[in-house]
Amino acid sequence: MARADALALVHLFPPREAPGSVRQFTNFSDLRNKGGCAHCGASLTSAETNRDHAPSKVLLVEPYPENLPTIEVCRECNASFSRDEEYFGAFLASVLTGSVNPDPKDFPRVARSLARSGGLRKRIERAGSRQLDLWGGVEILWEPELDRLERVVLKNARGHAFFETGEPATNQPTHMACVPIARLSEADWSNFQELPVPQVWPEVGSRMFQRGLHT
């Protein structure tokens, strides 16, 4: 599940027919699956809840498209991911810019986080080390807190899967990896790009089922 659904962790581009928005489908799947948290499975009838974005807003570019996908989850789970998501966004922006001072115009949310939290800035600074490359230039090697990245990837994968299929996937994935694309072997890159062919149709009424009918 995680490999395919991690494709949600890219900039979310709105569909051509509705600029500035995300096409919405009403979820008509089994109501019994909507009563539990997509992350821990706890009953939502007896827990405080809120709306969780899938994908996380820290992975998107402002201004955000309208009608971003959300799912209802328990507040405890949603709050437990906030610091990891903040770290993920700050780390990603720093890698892309080569600096812990990303341009606020390009990364406003991350810039605010780094300006507000000296501890976060220090953690990101410690993750990067400079060294000379073969041509005498300077390159930065990044060593993130991988467990934090993986928690955010899995959180988004579960949220995206639940939003599309209407079925929770609280089980642990059999395999998950957070690897720079440049470090993938040809075989891994080919495997990453292949879309898995489902053996059965998604549940009738789910968003994934409706998208298949509208394709």
Look at the block and give the residue holding tokens 């990044």. 142
Q: Contact, 125 vs 91, CB < 8 A?
A: no
For the beta carbon of residue 97, count every other beta carbon within 10 angstroms: 14
Distance of alpha carbon 137 from alpha carbon 154, whole angstroms? 36
Which pLDDT score, from 0 to 100, does residue 90 have? 94
Long-range Cβ contact pairs of 49-52 (< 8 A, separation 24 or more) = 49/73, 49/74, 49/75, 50/75, 50/78, 52/77, 52/78, 52/159
Which pLDDT score, from 0 to 100, does residue 30 have? 67
What predicted TM-score, i.e. pTM, was given to this entire model? 0.77
Distance of alpha carbon 103 from alpha carbon 108, whole angstroms? 7
pLDDT for residue 1 is more than 80: no
pLDDT for residue 18 is more than 50: no
Look at the block and give the residue holding tokens 């953690």. 123
Which pLDDT score, from 0 to 100, does residue 19 have? 46
Nearest to 93 by CA among 81, 112, 113, 110: 110
Q: What angle do CA 51, 79, 84 make, to 5 degrees?
A: 115
**Span 58-87, pLDDT tens digits:** 888 777 877 888 999 999 999 999 999 999
Nearest to 206 by CA among 163, 170, 171: 163
